[in-house]
Structure 1
Amino acid sequence: MTASMTRASATTSVVLLATTPACRLPCAGGTLLDRINDQLSRLPVRDVQVMTPGGGAGVDLRGIAKIARAATGVLVVLPADLVAHTEALAQLLEHPARGSAALVSSDAGGGPLRPPVRVEGGRVVAAGSSFHTVPEANATFRGVLQAGGADLASLGDVAEELADLADAGRLGPVTPVEVVDLLLVGLVRAGARVRAARLGPLHADRVTGQAGADTALGRLAEVDEEQVRLDTAIKDRDGFFATYFVSSWSRHLVRPAARLGLTPNAVTGISVALAFLAAVWFSAGDRGAQVAGAVLLYLSFVCDCLDGQLARYTRSFSPFGAWMDGMADRLKEYVVYVGLAIGYAAGLPWSDGGPDGIWHLAVAAMILQVVRHGLDFAFGGSRADARRIGELWSKPVRSLLEASDGARPDAPRKGVLRLALAMERESLARWLKRMVVLPIGERMALIAITAAVFNARVTFLALLVWGAVAVTYQLAGRMLRTAR
Structure 2
Amino acid sequence: MPDPLTRASTTTSVVLLATTPACALVCAEGTLLDRISGQLGALSVLDVQVVSAGDGLGADLRNVAKIVRAAPGAVVVLPADLVAHTEALALLLEHPARDTAALVSHDTIAGPLRPPVRVEGGKIITAGSSFHLVPAANAAFRGVLQAGEGDLRALADVAEELAELVDAGKLGPVTPVEAVDLLLVGLVRSGVAVRAAGLGPLRADRVSGQDAADTAVAGLAEVDEGRVRLETSVKEDDGFFATFLVSTWTRHLVRPVALLRLTPNAVTGISLSLALLAAVWFSAGGQGGRLAGAMLLYLSFALDCLDGQLARYTRTFSPLGAWADGLSDRFKEYAVYVGLAVGFGGSGIWYLAVAAMILQVVRHTLQYAYTGAVADAARVGAPWGRPARSLMESEDAGRAPGVIGLAQRIERDTVARWLKKIIVLPIGERTALIAVTAAIWDARVTFLSLLCWGGVAALYQLAGRIARSAR
What is the TM-score when the length of structure 2 is the normalising length?
0.89
Distance 1:182 1:420 in 2: 30
1:442 aligned residue: 429
Matches within 5 A, 1:165-204: 165-204=165-204
Is 1:308 aligned with 2:292?
Answer: no
- Is 1:42 paired with 2:42? yes
Aligned pairs for 1:247-286 (under 5 A) are 247-286=247-286
Contact 2:151 2:379 in 1 (8 A): no
Which of 369, 380, 396 aligns to 1:378? It is 369
Q: 1:26 to 1:319 in 2, by over 3 A?
A: same
The answer to whether the Cα contact below 8 Å between 1:32 and 1:83 also exists between their aligned partners in 2 is yes
In 1: Cα distance, 2:431 partner to 2:212 partner: 52
- Structure 1 residues 289 and 137, CA gap change in structure 2 (3 angstroms): same
Give 1:64-463 correspondences, 5 Å limit.
Answer: 64-345=64-345, 353=347, 357-388=348-379, 391=382, 396-402=387-393, 404-406=394-396, 411-413=400-402, 421-463=408-450
**1:85–1:452 CA distance, 2 compared to 1 (3 A):** same
Classify 1:43/1:462 alpha carbon distance in 2 versus 1 (closer, same or farther; 3 Å): same
Structure 2, unaligned stretches of length 5 or more? Answer: 1-7
Partner of 1:4: none
User: Equivalent residue of 1:160, what SS?
Assistant: helix
Asked whether the 8 Å contact 2:120–2:408 carries over to 1, the reply is no
Q: 3-state DSSP class of the match of 2:118?
A: strand
8 A contact 2:377–2:384 mirrored in 1: no
Instruction: Figure out how many residues of one structure are paired with residues of the other and give that number.
Output: 464
Q: In structure 2, what is the Cα distance between the partners aligned to 1:466 and 1:317?
A: 33
Shift of 1:401: 4.1
- How has the CA–CA distance of structure 1 residues 380 and 45 changed in structure 2, closer, same or farther, with 3 Å as cutoff? closer
- Structure 1 distance, partners of 2:14, 2:447, is 54
Deviations 1:341-376 (A, max 9, x none): 22223xxxx5xx1xxx33333233323333333333
Deviation by residue 1:212-236 (Cα, 9 ceiling, x = unmatched) = 1122123222222222222222122
Q: 1:473 aligns with which of 457, 460, 463?
A: 460
Q: Which amino acid aligns with 1:461?
A: L
Q: How far 1:397 moved relative to its partner?
A: 4.3
Deviation at 1:207, TM superposition (A): 0.5
How far, CA to CA, are the matches of 1:476 and 1:159 in structure 2?
38
Change beyond 3 A, Cα 1:20–1:469: closer
Displacement of 1:258: 1.9
> CA 1:149–1:279 in structure 2 vs 1: closer, same or farther (change >3 Å)?
closer
Amino acid aligned to 1:405:
E
Kindly provide the amino acid, as one letter, of the partner of residue 318 in structure 1: S
* Structure 1 position 482, deviation (Å): 4.3
Structure 1 residue 278: Cα displacement: 1.0
- Whole-angstrom CA distance in 2 between matches of 1:443 and 1:69: 45
**Does the C-alpha gap of structure 1 residues 439 and 127 become closer, same or farther in structure 2, counting only changes over 3 Å?**
closer
Structure 1 spans left out of the alignment, 5+ residues: 1-7
2 CA distance for matches of 1:294 and 1:367? 22
User: Relative to 1, partners in 2 of residues 1:460 and 1:181: Cα closer, same or farther, differing over 3 Å?
Assistant: closer
The structure with the larger Rg is 1
Q: In 1, distance between residues paired with 2:46 and 2:366?
A: 40
Give the whole-Å Cα distance in 2 for the aligned partners of 1:161 and 1:426. Answer: 39
Moved more, 152-161 or 30-39: 152-161
Instruction: Check 1:157–1:334 CA distance in 2 against 1; reply closer, same or farther (3 A cut).
Output: closer
| TM-score, normalised by the number of residues in structure 1 | 0.87
Once the two structures are overlaid, the 10-residue window that deviates more, 127-136 or 299-308, is 127-136
Bigger Cα displacement from structure 2, 160-169 vs 99-108 = 160-169
Query: In structure 1, what is the Cα distance between the partners aligned to 2:100 and 2:260?
Result: 34
CA drift of 1:392 comes to: 6.1
User: How far 1:446 sits from its partner (Å)?
Assistant: 2.0
Contact 1:58 1:164 in 2 (8 A): yes
- Alpha-carbon deviation of 1:66? 2.7
Contact 2:283 2:340 in 1 (8 A): yes
1:291 maps to a residue whose letter is: L
Superposed structure 1 runs of 4+ greater than 6 Å apart: none
Residue type of the alignment partner of 2:401: P
Q: Quick one: structure 1 residues 123 and 418, their matched pair in 2 at CA, closer, same or farther if it must change by over 3 Å?
A: closer
Task: Give deviations 1:232-279, integer Å, cap 9, x for gaps.
Answer: 221222222211111110111112222222222221111111011111
Task: Give 1:308 shift.
Answer: 1.6
The equivalent of 1:3 in structure 2 is: none
SS of equivalent to 1:276:
helix
After TM superposition, give the deviation of residue 440 of structure 1 in Å: 1.5
Contact 1:134 1:406 in 2 (8 A): no
- C-alpha distance in 2, partners of 1:481/1:394? 10
Percent identical residues: 70
Rounded Cα–Cα distance in structure 2 between residues aligned with 1:143 and 1:331 = 43
- Taking a change above 3 Å as real, the CA distance of residues 20 and 425 of structure 1, as seen in their structure-2 partners, is closer
Does the 8 A contact of 2:240 with 2:429 survive in 1?
yes
Larger mean Cα displacement after TM superposition, 222-231 or 37-46? 222-231
1:19 matched to 2:19: yes
**Distance in structure 2 (CA, Å) of the matches to 1:157 and 1:38:** 30
State how far apart, in whole Å, the 2-side matches of 1:219 and 1:52 are: 27
Change in Cα spacing, 1:127 to 1:443, as seen in structure 2 (3 Å) is closer
Taking the aligned partners of 1:363 and 1:395, their CA distance within structure 2 comes to 40
